[in-house]
Amino acid sequence: MSAPRLEIDLDKIHYNAQLLATRLSARGISVTGVTKATLGSPAIAQALLKTGLHSLGDSRIENIETMNAAGIDFPMMLIRTPMISQVDRVVSHVPISFNTEIKTIKKLSVAAKAIGKRHGVVLMVELGDLREGIMLDEVANIVREILRLPNIDFRGIGTNLACRSGVAPGVRNMEVLSNLVDTIESTFSLKVEIVSGGNSANLNWTLGETGIGKANVGRVNNLRLGESILLGREPLYRQPIEGLHTDAIRLVGEVIESKVKPSLPWGDIAESAFGKIDLPKDRGPISQAILAIGRQDTDPCGLQPPAGIEILGASSDHLIVRSSRDDIVVGSEIVFQPNYSFLVRAMTSPYVAKVLKPLSSCQPIG
Ligand SMILES: *Cc1c(COP(=O)(O)O)cnc(C)c1O
């Protein structure tokens, strides 16, 4: 089989989505399955259906168009602020987008009116991670403005933490979000339909130590989950989530060289192809193998090796490992566990094959 390849087990992804949807539904929280890491793969999107999810979300309109064209018939949301250059595609192909700029929402309004459609807007608010979001004291003004815009429906409030600065979602920032929703509702005499509290990093707060039924989720009624569904882990501490498959996606690489070599380089040491390197410690001769995968394809540091294999370094096309196993011969394959950073880039690389294990016919009832 061709290598490197991502082996993707659709039954396990289906199971993960279903288990998360069930657990969160017990807390009054719906789940939006985030497809961006899969490039909007219709087969993977299909595996997310009939799991109890509320909707699918993607940050790129291209991916949503791919899923639409493949006939994935499910509510979808664009979860990144649209580019003004794409508003026509946005209003044509997705009923709801997440927004932070009134200028863009006005363009969406014009574009929606032009084709006689309505477009839903979820406003993202900044709660400290310093990625997307309207500053708190400006939210009410923007709500006031969008309520007047033709062909625009105000559908909800959301926030995103952890992704840029690692700010952990917790009791305090989620309470700020809930209070904001209360204020918006009383100020404008309306009901905020979607309160989207965050991504997989919110799972500790939602399901964590406090246990089901104890933590107060306040007004949060939706989470957008990508990594936890695909990899079975929460992204704050990268711990496995109880009961989920952490091996739904595996990376298989092929060994192209296997030799005993010194552990230290020799000669005058300058920068490597990717900048400065830290010299390894001298361990004497080691069994070193090279796999045909590199930085051009992915983030090689995002691989968890199997027992007996240690990742030493990588260049554009080579992943260098130390092996204490005796089966690492040229032509053999090594199976790794990818992390999210590895996954998003490997999915995007044309050099990494994607091999889907199809959904079995007897699905658990969704
Ligand atoms: C990528 C993304 C998500 C999903 O994040 P995970 O950590 O993969 O669950 C959720 N919301 C937004 C806005 C995103 O960009």
Under the banding of pLDDT at 50, 70 and 90, the label for residue 261 is very high
Q: How far is the CA of 232 from the centre of ligand 1 (A)?
A: 14
Beta carbon of 197 within 6 Å of any ligand 1 atom: no
- Residue 53's SS3 state is coil
Question: What does the radius of gyration of the chain's CA atoms come to, in whole angstroms?
Answer: 23
What are the pLDDT digits (tens) for 67-96?
999 999 999 999 999 999 999 999 999 999
> Is the pLDDT score of 364 beyond 60?
no
199 C-beta closer than 6 A to ligand 1: yes
Tokens of 88: 């026509």
Pocket mutation for ligand 1, best pick of 30, 96, 160, 203 (most atoms within 8 Å of C-beta): 160
Question: CA–CA distance from 228 to each of 4, 141, 162, 210 (Å)?
Answer: 23, 35, 14, 19
DSSP of 5-23:
EEEEEHHHHHHHHHHHHHH
pLDDT classification of 223: cutoffs 50, 70, 90? very high
Instruction: Check if the beta carbon of residue 168 is closer than 8 Å to that of residue 191.
Output: no
Model pTM?
Answer: 0.94
Residue type, 175: E
Beta strands in the chain (DSSP E): 5-9, 30-34, 55-58, 76-78, 96-99, 119-125, 152-159, 194-196, 222-225, 249-262, 285-291, 303-304, 309-314, 319-323, 333-338, 353-357
Is it the case that residue 365 has pLDDT exceeding 80? no
Q: Is the pLDDT of residue 14 over 80?
A: yes
β-bridge mates for residue 336, sequence order: 251
Structure tokens at 235: 């992204």
- In angstroms, what is the span from residue 226 Cα to ligand 1's centroid? 6
Q: Report the pLDDT value the prediction gives residue 362, as an integer from 0 to 100.
A: 56
Residue among 2, 1, 3, 6 nearest 357 (CA): 6
pLDDT tens track for 323-355? 998 889 999 999 999 999 999 999 999 999 999
Q: How many Cβ atoms from other residues are within 10 Å of residue 230's Cβ?
A: 29
Question: How far is the C-alpha of 78 from the C-alpha of 96, rounded, in Å?
Answer: 6
State which ligand 1 atom lies nearest to the alpha carbon of 36: 1
Tokens of 354: 């994607």
Number of H helices, E strands in the chain: 10, 16
- Residue 260 to residue 244: CA distance in whole angstroms: 39
Q: What is the pLDDT of residue 345?
A: 94
C-alpha 359/C-alpha 43 separation (Å) is 9
The ligand 1 atom at the shortest distance from the C-alpha of residue 158 is 13
Q: What is the pLDDT of residue 326?
A: 83
36 part of the active site: yes
Name the residue at shortest CA distance from atom 13 of ligand 1. Answer: 79
Q: Place 272 in a pLDDT band, splitting at 50, 70 and 90.
A: confident
Is it the case that residue 210 has pLDDT exceeding 70? no
Question: Is any ligand 1 atom within 6 A of the Cβ of residue 245?
Answer: no
From the CB of 99, is ligand 1 less than 6 Å away? Answer: no
What is the position in ligand 1's atom list of the atom closest to the CA of 230? 8
For residue 25, what pLDDT is reported? Answer: 96
Give 211's pLDDT tier (boundaries 50, 70, 90). Answer: very low
225 C-alpha vs ligand 1 centroid, how far in Å? 6
Q: Which atom of ligand 1 is nearest to the CA of 80?
A: 13
First CA to last CA distance, the chain = 33
- Does the beta carbon of 248 lie inside 6 Å of ligand 1? no
Q: Does ligand 1 come within 6 angstroms of the Cβ of 40?
A: no
Position 115 confidence tier, pLDDT thresholds 50, 70, 90: very high
C-beta of 60 in contact with ligand 1 (< 6 A): no
Q: Which of 219, 140, 154 has its CA nearest to residue 187?
A: 140
pLDDT tens profile 24-42? 999 999 999 999 999 999 9
Distant-in-sequence, close-in-space partners of 242: CB < 8 Å, separation ≥ 6: none
